[in-house]
Structure 1
């Protein structure tokens, strides 16, 4: 609820009806002054996106820690207490994927390994240069030669040992160079293809066994002709897939609800009821994902210490277990089926949804790749 001043005039500005209290009984508009200070724009915006008339935080608390409660109360008709399911899902989905987008915006998935290789290469070259500099100093300085003789050739032995290590480093350096050369090699060249004509010739001899891959090769040639390296193509593909994930997830909601409808009484439960359950459960999953990303971001400031890495792993495993248990508890409290039946239906639905969602992700990946530009 906003904190604007109530108007002395009891005539609703929206529909013209008489307003006895704060809200118009005809259209529901709040009868407050229409002119406000400039800061009201920001405070009202914050209230709309966090409070939802004072029920937002209560909704979040129940969503996270009381499986099935929001669905049960909503289906009982008590719909003014908490944020409506659709609005809740849209808001949480927006915030979650916005945060994830910020996290991946500066990431380069295809070049992370190459950056490590570049750092190793520079370290190798530095050690070799230092070794050569010390050996040259021994040749030019009598004092160094005398010190070496007085110590029984300890310095010479140390340099010889360093030389052996340097030779091994040089071999590794060559390997690093080969990695870089291989990285810059076009994807199509690794298949022995210079153009789509080469692919067509091979297909004629193979009886068109791999015709299904034609659209992907066309796209790869297109991207390579634009000057994109394999690492850049990988980076574009990952970011495009994550960008399209909210749309795919939204399309999957009706299918998830449909599977619930199949396994429950058609007389007692309507498809609408299963839709409410689905929206609440997916809102919970997205909120849990958001919290994991936030915690992962905080732990990243510890520079990947053993403690931070271990804690992050524990959090991820705990979240996965909790998400699974949450579904069974929410299902039992909403539908009130026998515990054994709840577990059986839950396991069957888990297997079906795992298969269908994997199929969805594969389709999402294909579409994301084919629409790269």
Structure 2
């Protein structure tokens, strides 16, 4: 009976009796290996099979991707509840999906110049710098040029400002004015000593432009240790960021998806403590936290896209308002508590979130500067 079926069903022609991947014995009726999941086939790979497998895998993921976004946006809390209840094959992995959404968000948000309005004050001159400052100064000059008294006497603000000129800056302190010897530094605590060294190194670099840490430390007559070399390198980096603040901002923003990725497990710990009397374990709270944060990124992606094409600001604002309502509904549906308890815990969680976010940002800035 089986031989007769094999003659007319060519699918069985390439079925093996052993899994080529894990060597598990198989039956001819086994389409996939029950141990490792590999397809039971001895057929040599050809060009057509390669593209069929590639596109089937892509559309399979795309189906889960679309379902995940749809449920995540329009059924707050459902995707987390389904996932912890074992319905996982229909959705994308929450951790990988978070990374994908966060990276896309930061790429899209980077298209618009978010820091166009930033104004930086040059510590050397005290003059505002940046795109917004230039625009404001230009508008101010145009307005002053329209003053009747100036127009009547044909006086241009540019020439007037050039004649007046900036006031003479006060005499600046050099590194010699704040210099402490190695012996003097050893008498103060490590925190004050490190801050003092950084200040001395920074001023020394500004005045001498010495790039080699060994030469600088020798000239300053400090111990030639790895710690002092590292501090001098950080002083040079600080000068670079001081003159080009956008450089550090871009560097830090690029690291934010991964910073938040490691921040969320800490936040999930506080969620677990807040719901400690509920029957959820830590991992289930963590999945909920990742799903909620991913939703925020998706809403921001939609908001930034709207603002980019319509040249408006309401898309981003609307995303924030929608997320506040979404977070409440997610907590209500996932944890299934009363409205009063949910609102109270919603307020507490937001306070915890912003407190932890502030601490995490400070730590991340310090670490980012240290490893740059």
TM bin, normalised by shorter chain, reads 0.5 to 0.7
The answer for the alignment partner of 1:35 in structure 2 is 45
- SS of 1:55 mapped into structure 2: helix
| Aligned mate of 1:265, from 254, 257, 276 | 276
The answer for the alignment partner of 1:147 in structure 2 is none
| Aligned mate of 2:134, from 112, 116, 125 | 116
1:94–1:35 Cα change, 3 Å: farther
Structure 1 vs Structure 2 CA RMSD: 4.5
Following superposition of structure 1 onto structure 2, how do residues 130-279 of structure 1 map, counting pairs within 5 Å?
162=151, 164=153, 166-172=155-161, 178=166, 192-195=172-175, 198=178, 200=180, 213-214=195-196, 217=199, 220-221=202-203, 224=206, 225=209, 232-266=243-277, 268-279=279-290
Q: Which has the higher contact order (CA 8 A, sep 6+)?
A: 1
Alpha-carbon separation, structure 2, partners of 1:352 and 1:339: 20
1:338–1:211 Cα change, 3 Å: farther
Matched, 1:44 2:65: no
Alpha-carbon separation, structure 1, partners of 2:366 and 2:268: 25
Which deviations, in whole Å up to 9, do the C-alpha atoms of 1:267-300 show, x marking residues without a partner? 611111101111111111222233333333334x
Shift in Å at residue 357 of structure 1?
0.5
| Aligned mate of 1:280, from 288, 291, 294 | 291
- SS of 2:301 mapped into structure 1: helix
Structure 1 residues not aligned, in runs of 5+: 129-157, 183-188, 300-307
Structure 2 residues not aligned, in runs of 5+: 1-9, 121-128, 212-235
Alpha-carbon separation, structure 1, partners of 2:22 and 2:205: 58
Q: Is the 8 A contact 1:68 1:330 kept in 2?
A: yes
Matched, 1:9 2:14: yes
1:347–1:241 Cα change, 3 Å: same
Q: Is the 8 A contact 1:257 1:271 kept in 2?
A: yes
| TM-score, scaled relative to structure 1 | 0.66
Alpha-carbon separation, structure 1, partners of 2:369 and 2:294: 28
Which deviations, in whole Å up to 9, do the C-alpha atoms of 1:158-209 show, x marking residues without a partner? 9x9646353434334568x759x99xxxxxx99x4432762659x99xx999
The answer for the alignment partner of 1:77 in structure 2 is 86
1:291–1:213 Cα change, 3 Å: farther
The answer for the alignment partner of 1:329 in structure 2 is 329
The answer for the alignment partner of 1:186 in structure 2 is none
1:263–1:42 Cα change, 3 Å: same
The answer for the alignment partner of 1:346 in structure 2 is 346
1:333–1:298 Cα change, 3 Å: same
- SS of 1:259 mapped into structure 2: helix
| TM-score, scaled relative to structure 2 | 0.66
Alpha-carbon separation, structure 2, partners of 1:103 and 1:289: 13
Which deviations, in whole Å up to 9, do the C-alpha atoms of 1:122-165 show, x marking residues without a partner? x98xxx9xxxxxxxxxxxxxxxxxxxxxxxxxxxxx9x964635
Alpha-carbon separation, structure 1, partners of 2:114 and 2:46: 38
Q: Is the 8 A contact 2:307 2:316 kept in 1?
A: no
Shift in Å at residue 249 of structure 1?
0.6
Alpha-carbon separation, structure 1, partners of 2:173 and 2:44: 69
Q: Is the 8 A contact 2:80 2:334 kept in 1?
A: yes
1:55–1:230 Cα change, 3 Å: closer
1:335–1:161 Cα change, 3 Å: closer
The answer for the alignment partner of 2:101 in structure 1 is 92
Shift in Å at residue 101 of structure 1?
5.5
